Amino acid sequence: MRPEDFESLLPYGKIVGAHVTPIDHMYFSPADWSLGRDAYEVRAIQDGLIYNLQPRDINVDANTAKEREWRMDIAHSCTFASYFDLITSLSPELEAIWAKWGAVPPDGIPIQAGQLVGWIGGQTLDFGVYDWEVVLPGFINPSRYDGEPWKIHTVDPFPYFPVDVREALLAKMERQVEPRAGKIDHDIDGRLAGNWFQQGTGGYQDPGDTWNYWDGHLAFVPDAIDPSVWWFSIGNYDGEADQFPLRGDQPDPRDVSVNSGPVTYVLTHPYNPGEEVGVVLVEMTADRIVNLEVFADQTVPEVAGFTDAMRIYER
């Protein structure tokens, strides 16, 4: 997007709704959300070949119908790719190709740096860069992410841009600490920090298997913009995926281990700092196994121990 067309750039690593584990893409936030769909141009970041073009007509979180959006994957080499999602409309050229083929042609769709590929408006634009020769070190068990295989290859895009483009993007990046692009891999073997998956769910499944595949996901991770704040994120909190900041005077998840025994965390309201909304009881029973139970709308004195509602998570 042109610098004047977006207000801010959100980093990798945010958590929200069904994005229970840190998000593997950034967000361009439009300058004016009130202008509605198709308000701003989306252009290719580099010469490449579109190898995946996927329409979406449902709201992923709720599995309900919505106006069409597009996902676009662009290869810049055999191992390096970029990604756009939530594009509200395709360029006429791409729309015509899709109308003819109903898919990406077998040889892909060549595009050039700066070429118009679509429009965005009334919502953010997803953007990410992936290097398939890089595997992020902070995922204890990379095979858990086979359902979204690009995730473990997410890389900082800024070194690959020309200097003037990089500086224009960084000027609007909301994260001010290094790495400016953000971070999504927070696992520490033998510690609570990072991502977990309920036993028997297989980690990241193909979204075609079930629409709410995130139900068994869990994460204890730092805030994407202010890493001094830690968050609890879970795929099923009273029936819905949800996220809460941890009260600041509690054990650092990077220090919690098997030797810590049962640990309680007080959850606070994400939009009303200091308001307590519930308690989480956790106990690491092995380096890669944790027992966990959520006690919504309760306080620490009310939590006597695990009940039959306890879930077991693993890596």
Tell me the whole-structure pTM to 2 decimals.
Answer: 0.94
**pLDDT band with cut points at 50, 70 and 90 for residue 78:** very high
Q: What average pLDDT does the chain have?
A: 95
Instruction: Provide the pLDDT for residue 208.
Output: 54
- Give me 238's structure tokens: 């009273």
The gap from C-alpha 141 to its chain's centroid, in whole angstroms, comes to 18
* Residue ranges covered by each domain of the chain: 3-170, 194-314
Residue pair 224/14 in contact by the 8 Å Cβ criterion: yes
Mean pLDDT of the region 250-278: 96
Region for 86 from its dihedrals, namely left if φ exceeds 0, alpha if ψ lies in -120 to 50, beta otherwise: left
Q: Provide the residue type at 41 as one letter.
A: E
Q: Which are the contacts of 49, defined by CB distance < 8 A and separation ≥ 6?
A: 74, 75, 108, 109, 110, 111
Range 3-170: architecture per CATH: Distorted Sandwich (2.70)
- pLDDT surpassing 80 at residue 232: yes
Interatomic CA distance for residues 235 and 34, integer angstroms: 31
